[in-house]
Structure formats: structure tokens, C-alpha cells
Structure 1
Amino acid sequence: MYAIIENGGKQYKVQEGDVVFLDRLAGEEGTSVTFDKVLAVSDGDKMNFGAPFVKNATVTGQILSHGKDKKIIVFKFKAKKGYRKKQGHRQPHTKVKIEKINA
């Protein structure tokens, strides 16, 4: 059984027991989080799609930790103008373990 959930404008395919990295969520480590924006649920050969979300379907997970991704370099440059700008960015994320899919 798997589900497709939406979080932070992105879609994730999750199964029970998966560990996924999502955009930063509010909540302490060890607390439970519920995702109610479930786009599709698959149970073997039966597939259930929502329009836009599946009714009465939720996915519950547990927050394992908070962290940051690897640093990316944002470098702006204009040729022959003497303009250079270097900036770094680390996107914050939350590590979540999927516990149950309620369909």
C-alpha cells in the first residue's frame, strides 16, 4: 500500500515505514504529524484518486529530526560590467518516518 501526499507544493510517494525529507515542519522531534492532503491511495491492484484530494484519507508520521541540506552557491555575474555577487543557501528540512496510511 502506498499513497501520494502533497506538502509544501511538492508531491511525495510514501509507504508505511518510509523515511522522507520534507520542507521544514512546525513541531518538536518525536511528535506525530498528520497529512490530510492525500492525492491518491493504492491498495494492491485497487487505486483511489482524489479530485483534488481523497476524502477521509490521512497519512500519519513521526518527526525524527530537523536539519539543513547541503549548501548551494548562488552566483550572479554580468559580463563586462564588474558585477559579481556570491551567496550561499542551505534549505531547512524535516526528517519524517511514515507510520500509517489511513484510507
Structure 2
Amino acid sequence: MFAIVRTGGKQYRVAAGDKIVVDRMDGEAGARITLGDVLFTSTGESGLTVAAEIVAQAKADKVIVFKKKRRHNYRRRNGHRQQHTILQIVSVGAAEEKKAAPKKAAKPKAEKADAAPVEASAE
């Protein structure tokens, strides 16, 4: 069974036992997380989640950004290392736990005054 999940603005095809590299997510190595934004499953069921375990928080290879304007003595060299999280997919298809909506407490109704409205006198 596989699923298509969305995280970090990207979509991933995952199955139990897969390792995927996603944009940085909060959590320490060994922590369990659930990916609730499941777009599609191979069985066609809806309302499922994907359970994953964080393997590591890492950085990607360095990307060199080099800017140059010829004949203007303008050269800029910069580097960037994107942070990412490595996830191990534990299970696909766990039922999503829906929290019950909190019940609203009934507001006490204001007592209506039986007296006639007071007229303002102009003096």
C-alpha cells in the first residue's frame, strides 16, 4: 500500500519502510510524527494518515551562488546549504484521529425588564 503525501509544499509517494528527504521539520532524531495531508492512497480510502520517524536532521550539499556583471568589476560569491529532515516511513494508512468539537456552554439569557422604557425629558 502506498500514499501520496504533501509536506513542505512538495508531494512524495511513500510506502512503509521508505526513507524520504523533506524540508526541515521540528523534532529530534527518533521522534515520531504523523503526516496528515494525505492526497491519495492506493486503496482509495480517505481520512488516513502516514506515521513516520525522524532519522536525522541534516544539511544538503553546498550550492554556490555566483553573480557577475562584466566590465563593471562586480563579482559576488555566496554559498547556501539547505537544511532538511530525513524521515523513515513507519506505516501507511493509520486512521486519522478526529477530535470531538468542544461543546459550547449555553449562555444565560438576560432577563427582560417588564417596566416601560424611561423617557428622557428635555429641560
Same fold (TM over 0.5): yes
Structure 2 residue ranges without an equivalent (≥5): 95-123
Deviations 1:5-35 (A, max 9, x none): 1111111111100011111110111110101
Structure number with the higher strand fraction is: 1
Larger radius of gyration: 2
After TM superposition, where is structure 1 displaced by more than 2 Å over at least 4 residues in a row?
none
Match of 1:94 among 85, 96, 101: 85
Query: Structure 1 length normalisation: TM-score?
Result: 0.85
Pairwise CA RMSD: 1.3
Structure 1 CA distance for aligned equivalents of residues 63 and 57 of structure 2: 18
Q: How many residues are paired up?
A: 94
Task: State the AA in 2 paired with 1:25.
Answer: M
In structure 1, the gaps of 5 or more residues are 49-53
What is residue 36 of structure 1 aligned with on the other side? 36
Could you tell me the percent identity over the aligned residues?
43
Give the whole-Å Cα distance in 1 for the aligned partners of 2:65 and 2:74: 14
| Superposed counterparts of 1:1-103, under 5 Å | 1-43=1-43, 48=44, 55-102=46-93
With normalisation by structure 2, the TM-score equals 0.72
